[in-house]
Structure 1
């Protein structure tokens, strides 16, 4: 099995998870036979490992709610549509500002707005 997330998820290394990700839905493949989907309940980390505690995973015969992953291991987070849209709008606004600044008065050209 080779899990690569879905179109509505973005991949981040486990080492980039921080307190802001607690409560987010996550999916990952901890070994070659298992794919995990759950909500992050807590995160702990060392220099080499990230420890995830999940809500909504344990309770089955073979299911557990704690996983240890190397810091570079890919995990997949649900894309936040509002933040994503806000980021896109900011990027577009920045490009518009840049274009407006670039289309201003160019040296050597006669300005038509003089009195």
Structure 2
């Protein structure tokens, strides 16, 4: 299949997954014929690879609830909306602070002259 994620997904090596990724939506190809989309329930590191357990898969028409992947395999994460929103707010707040301090007009003498 050669799945490479969609435009808004971030490619991450399976070996780089950690506890902060639990609960995030993920997509990956466990083999040449399967494409998986799901939410991460757990991540286990093993010698030579990573096992990803998916949330809500048990009893769903014979789907696997966990997959073992080599650490070098790309998996694709949906953007974390909370983190993205938080960084956007911080950026905007920083720009407002700079504007209030007059940071946009550096070099100009803003003192009153008689």
TM-score normalized with structure 2 length: 0.71
Residue 73 of structure 2 is matched in structure 1 by 73
| SS at 1:67 equivalent | strand
- The residue correspondences of 1:1-115 to structure 2 (distance < 5 A) are 1-59=1-59, 60-61=61-62, 63-87=63-87
Could you list the runs of 5+ residues in structure 2 that have no partner in the other structure? 95-102, 107-114
C-alpha displacement at 1:32, in angstroms? 0.6
User: In the superposition, relative to structure 1, how do residues 47 and 93 fare at CA in structure 2: closer, same or farther (>3 Å)?
Assistant: farther
Could you list the runs of 5+ residues in structure 1 that have no partner in the other structure? 95-100, 105-115
Deviates more, 1:8-17 or 1:78-87: 78-87
C-alpha displacement at 1:81, in angstroms? 2.7
CA distance in 1 between counterparts of 2:87 and 2:48 reads 31
Q: How many residues align?
A: 111
Indicate conservation of the 8 Å contact 1:53/1:65, yes or no: yes
**4+ long deviations beyond 4 Å:** 88-94
| SS at 2:23 equivalent | coil
Residue 109 of structure 2 is matched in structure 1 by none
C-alpha displacement at 1:85, in angstroms? 4.2
CA distance in 2 between counterparts of 1:36 and 1:58 reads 14
